[in-house]
A and B are shown apart, each in its own frame.
Chain A
Amino acid sequence: MEFFRNPNIDFLGKKWYFLAFSLVFSVAGVFSMLFWHHIPYGVDFRGGTLVYVKFSHPPDDNALRASMDRVGLRNAKIQRYGPPSNNEVLIDLDVQETNEQALDRGKTQIINTLETNAPAGKQDLNNSSSLAIKNYLMEKDPLHLGSDAEQRYTQQAQAVVDTRDKVQGGVLGSFDQLNGHVDPAVVASLKDGFFLSDFGVRNVEIVGPQVGAQLRKQAVLATVYSLAGMLIYLGFRFEWIYGVAAVVTVFHDTLITVGFFSLTKTDISLTVIAAILTLIGYSNNDTIVVFDRIRENIKLMRREKLSEIVNRSINQTLSRTILTAGLTFLTVLALFLFGGEVLHGFSLALVIGILIGTYSSIAIAAPILVAYQDWRIEKSKTSGRNARSGQVVAR
C-alpha cells in the first residue's frame, strides 16, 4: 500500500496562505491570553484547593452551591467531573482560601459541609481511613481475639476499605455491600460505630501560593531551556539559521497550543506543560527530517535554486511526515478518548500539538530558510557586492 507516490506540490508557492493561517490562530490565541480568558492556570500554577467528591446518587449542583455559600465558601466553583454516570463533582477553591498557615482548612470545611445529618457519635465509613477503622475494631474487638488482634483487624479494615474503593468505586451504598468481603461480626460491629454518608472524597489537591509561583517560574524556565537546547544543537549540527528556523517554528507551535487552551478555557496543569515540552521535541523531529533532506539535496543539486531544493525535499519526505504524524496522532487519540479524565488536558495538548507541529515543519520552518536566503541575496545586491554562491551551505 502507498498513499503518496512521487508527490509534487508547490508548498513554497502557498506560503502566504500558510502565513495567514498561522497569523490568525496565533493572534486569536494571544488576544485571548491578554484580554479574554487569560492563561487558564491549573491549580498547580495558581494555587488553590481541589476536592474531587463522588456521590452515591446524582448530585444536585445547586444544593451543593447553596451549602458551600452557607459556610462562607462563596468563591467555590462546582463542576461535574467525568461522565455523568460517575456522579462525580469537582469543588474548586481559589488561592485566597488556601492559606499556608492552615493548608487543609478549605478541604476540612468542604467535607464538614457535605457531612449533613451525621448521627451523633458515629464516624463516616465512606471517609474513614483503614487506620481509623482498625483502631475502632481493636477497641470493640467483635471477633474476641484478645491479644493477637492487631494483624487480623488490620486485614479486616483493609478489606473494608478495598471493598469500598475497588469494588464499589469509592462509595458504599449500604453496609450489606461489605458481606462476603468482611467477617459478618465485623460488619455488625461497624454498623454500631459508623454511618454511611452519600459521598466519598476521591482525590485532593492543595497547592499553596508559594509552590504555585515556584512552579510557574519552573514551567517557563523549562520551556526556555528546552528551546535553547534545540537552538544550540541544531546550530552545531547544521547552520545557525536552521536552529533559528526550528526554534521559531516550535515557538509558533507552543503559542498556538497555549492559545487554544486559553480560547477553550481549559486548565493548564503540570502535565500539560509536560505535553508541550514533548511537542517541542516532536515538532522539532519533523523539522529536522525536512532539514536533513535539504542538506542532502543541496549537495546533490548544486545548480538548483534553494526554493526548488526545499520544495523537492518537502515532497520527498511528505510520505514519511504524513505517516508518522498519522500514527502518532492515532496513539495520542487513543489516549485522548480512552485515557480517562485525569489525562484529559495532557492528551488534548498532544492532539492539538501534533497537528500543528506537523503543519509547521512544512509551512513555517522551510519557508523561513528560503526567506532568509532571499533576504541575503537582496542585501548583497543592494550593497553592490556580488552575490557569492547565493546558497545556504550546510556543513
Chain B
Amino acid sequence: MNKNLLWKLALIVGILLVFLFGIFGIPQRFSGQGLLSAMTNRIHLGLDLRGGTHLILQVQVNDAVNIDSDNAMETLKEQLNKRKIAFADISKPDPQNSPDKVVLKGVSPDGRKDLLDIVSERLPEYNLSSGADNTWVLTMKPQMLSDMKNKAVTQAIETIRNRIDSLGVSEPTIQEHGLGQYQILVQLPGVDDPGRVKDIMQSTAMLEIKQVLGGPYPSEQAALQEKGGVLPADAILMPGHAAPGTPGGEQSWYLVSRISAVRGKDLRDAQPSTDQNGQPNVRFQLTGEGGQRFYSFTSAHVGESLGVVLDGKVQEVANIKEAIRDTGEISGGSMSQQQAKDLSMILRSGALPAGIKYLEERTVGPSLGSDSIRHGVNAAIIGMLAVLIFMLVYYRGAGINADIALILNLIILLGFMGFFEAVLTLPGIAGVILTVGMGVDSNVLIFERIREELRNGKTPPSAVDQGFSHAWITIVDTHVTTIVSAAILFIFGTGPVRGFATTLTFGLLANLFTAVFVSRLIFDWILTRKQRGEALSI
C-alpha cells in the first residue's frame, strides 16, 4: 500500500474513533448493556420515545400592559385632582384588545398645559394625543409596548423554570416557542400526569396587600346597595373566602383599595408553617424596601383592616393592631399541607407577570414510548439488512465496499448526534432509516457509472476515476437540495419533526464523506493489489 493511501486510511480511522467517542463517550464497561447505557447517556431520547409531557402555553401579555396602564390611569387622576383640573371621565375603553389605551374626557380647555406637563413628567412612557370635544387619548409608546410584552414572556419563562426546578423534574425544556406570538414551549420528560405541574405553572401567584374598606358582603349586589349603588373611585370589589359560620355560600365579597400597599415583588421569602390551631398556612417576609412601605402603611391605618390578596382573591383579612414591619401569613380556607408547601414554593419563585393559557398538551405514556422504540429499531434493522444484503448480491466485491461505507455513515451520523446533544425522536429513527436508503444512492450512482465506463472499454483504474468524477457533481446537487428541504423542516418544525430533520441532515453530510472519500479509498486499495488488466468485481 502506498503512502498516500496510508495517510487517507489513518484519517478515516481517526474520524471513526472520534465519532465512536461521540456515540459512546468513554464507556465504563464493554458489555452490551454498558455500551447501551453509555449511548443513551449521550444521545438523548425525545419525549415521544421516553414518555413525558409537551405543553405550549401563551402568556397573556395584555395582563402586564393592563397593570401598567391601570397605574398610569391612577397617577393621571391623582395629578389632575392635585392640580385641580376638572375632567368629566377617565376610563379604559377596551382593556381586552388595546390594554394600553386610556381615554380622558371633558378636560377643561385651560388645563391643557398642565395635562401635557403631567404626562411628560410623570408618564414618559406614554404618548398623549388630543381628539374632539376636549377628549385626550393616552397610549403607550410602541417601543415601550413591545418591550413590555417581550419582557413579560422572558419573565414568565424565568418564573416557570424556577417552579419546575423546585418540583424536581429532570431535564425540563422551557423556552420561547418561536412559531407563535408570546408562546412558551415546556417539555417535561417522565411526567405523564401533568395535572399538578400544570396547576403550579399556571398559578400567577400575584400577591398583594390592600386596605379593606368594607365587607364581607354576601354578594356583589349587597355591597353595591350598601354603598348606595356606586363604588368609590379608588376602590374595587374582590371575592374572598367567607368568614367561618357565614350563612349561605362559600364566597363573600370585600371592598378593597385599588392601589396595593405591598406587591409580589416586595416579597423576600415564603415558607409553609402552621397557625396557632395547627392549621397549615404560609408565612412570608418582605424585603427591606417593601417592609418600609408596609410599616408606613400599617402605622397610618392602625385599627383598620388589611387584606392579603392572592390572584385577585382575598385570602385573609386582619385588623391592624399596631405597625407591622415585614412579616405576614396566608391561610385562607382549609389549606392542606401539600397546598401550603406548593403555595410557598410558588410565592418564592415569584409572580408571573401575566396570566398564562394552555394552547397544546401532549402526553406520551412510557408504555407507548418503549413500544415505539421497539418498532422503530426493528424497522431500522430490517431495512438496513435488506439494503446491505442486496448490495452484496448485486455488486459482489464492490458491494462490500458500499456496505462498509454505509455502516461508517451510520456511525458518523450517531456520533454527530452525540456531539451536538441532538434529540432522537421516532421520526428521527425514520430519518436514520431513510438515510440508509438515500445514502446508498450515492454508491449506486458511482457504481453504475463505473460499470458504464467499463462497458465502454475503459481500464478499471480509469473507469473508477471517471465514475467518481462524473458522479461527484450529481451527488453534490442531490445532497444540497435534500439538505435544503431538511433545513426548512428544521426551521418550521417542532419536537419530533425537528428530530427527523436533524438526523436526515447529519446523515446526508456523513454520506458525502463515506460514499465518496471512503469508498474511493477502498477502490484505490483494491486496484493497487490487482494485476494490470485484471477485472474489477462490480
Interface residues in chain A, defined as those with a beta carbon under 8 Å from any beta carbon in chain B: 1-2, 6, 52, 54, 100-101, 103-104, 128-129, 131-132, 135, 161-162, 164-166, 169-170, 200-208, 210-211, 214-215, 218-219, 221-222, 225-226, 229-230, 233-234, 237, 270-271, 273-274, 277-278, 280-282, 284-285, 288-289, 292, 296, 316-317, 319-320, 323-324, 327-335, 337-340, 342-343, 346-347, 350
Taking a contact as CB atoms under 8 Å apart, the answer to whether A288 and B379 are in contact is no
Taking a contact as CB atoms under 8 Å apart, the answer to whether A340 and B361 are in contact is no
Q: Give the residues in chain A near B380, CB-CB below 8 Å.
A: 334
Taking a contact as CB atoms under 8 Å apart, the answer to whether B375 and A339 are in contact is yes
Taking a contact as CB atoms under 8 Å apart, the answer to whether A331 and B387 are in contact is yes
Bound: A273/B198 CA distance, A: 30
Given A166-B366, A218-B179, verify A330-B387 contact (CB < 8 Å): yes
A-B contacts, CB under 8 A, total: 245
Q: Give the residues in chain B near A342, CB-CB below 8 Å.
A: 48, 368, 372, 375, 426
Query: Which of A215, A284, A296, A330 has the largest count of B CB atoms less than 10 A from its CB?
Result: A330
Given A281-B485, A320-B445, A346-B427, verify A202-B390 contact (CB < 8 Å): no
Taking a contact as CB atoms under 8 Å apart, the answer to whether B365 and A339 are in contact is no
Taking a contact as CB atoms under 8 Å apart, the answer to whether A229 and B434 are in contact is no
Taking a contact as CB atoms under 8 Å apart, the answer to whether A323 and B430 are in contact is no
Q: Give the residues in chain A near B390, CB-CB below 8 Å.
A: 327, 330
Q: Give the residues in chain B near A233, CB-CB below 8 Å.
A: 480-481, 484
Looking across the interface, which residue of chain B has its beta carbon closest to that of A333?
B383
Q: Counting CB contacts under 8 A, is B451 at the interface?
A: yes
Q: Counting CB contacts under 8 A, is B363 at the interface?
A: yes
Q: Give the residues in chain B near A317, CB-CB below 8 Å.
A: 448
Bound: A162/B455 CA distance, A: 61
Q: Give the residues in chain A near B360, CB-CB below 8 Å.
A: 103, 206-208, 211
Distance (whole angstroms) from the CB of A293 to the closest CB of chain B: 8
Given A131-B196, A338-B375, verify A288-B365 contact (CB < 8 Å): no
Taking a contact as CB atoms under 8 Å apart, the answer to whether B393 and A334 are in contact is no
Q: Which 5 A-B pairs have the closest CB atoms?
A: A340-B375, A129-B193, A334-B383, A328-B437, A281-B482
Chain B contact surface mostly = helix
For chain B, the bracket of interface size reads 35 or more
Q: Give the residues in chain B near A200, CB-CB below 8 Å.
A: 365, 367
Taking a contact as CB atoms under 8 Å apart, the answer to whether A270 and B496 are in contact is yes
Q: Counting CB contacts under 8 A, is B378 at the interface?
A: yes
The contact string, 1 if C-beta is below 8 Å from chain A, for chain B 173-192, is 00000011000000000011
Taking a contact as CB atoms under 8 Å apart, the answer to whether A203 and B365 are in contact is yes
Taking a contact as CB atoms under 8 Å apart, the answer to whether B375 and A343 are in contact is yes
Taking a contact as CB atoms under 8 Å apart, the answer to whether B367 and A166 are in contact is yes
Q: Give the residues in chain B near A6, CB-CB below 8 Å.
A: 455
Since A210-B58, A324-B440, A328-B434 are in contact, a sample of 10 more A-B pairs with Cβ atoms closer than 8 Å, ordered by chain A residue number, is A103-B361, A169-B371, A277-B486, A278-B486, A281-B485, A288-B477, A335-B433, A340-B374, A342-B372, A350-B434
Taking a contact as CB atoms under 8 Å apart, the answer to whether B48 and A324 are in contact is no
Given A230-B481, A271-B500, A320-B445, verify A103-B192 contact (CB < 8 Å): no
Taking a contact as CB atoms under 8 Å apart, the answer to whether B470 and A226 are in contact is no
Bound: A100/B484 CA distance, A: 35
Q: Counting CB contacts under 8 A, is B7 at the interface?
A: no
Looking across the interface, which residue of chain B has its beta carbon closest to that of A50?
B362
Q: Counting CB contacts under 8 A, is B488 at the interface?
A: yes
Taking a contact as CB atoms under 8 Å apart, the answer to whether B378 and A284 are in contact is no
Q: Give the residues in chain A near B488, CB-CB below 8 Å.
A: 222, 225-226, 229, 277
Q: Give the residues in chain A near B51, CB-CB below 8 Å.
A: 165
Residue contacts A-B, CB under 8 angstroms, 18 given? A1-B394, A1-B395, A100-B359, A104-B361, A165-B51, A165-B365, A165-B370, A203-B364, A203-B368, A208-B359, A270-B494, A270-B497, A316-B452, A329-B437, A334-B383, A340-B379, A343-B375, A346-B430
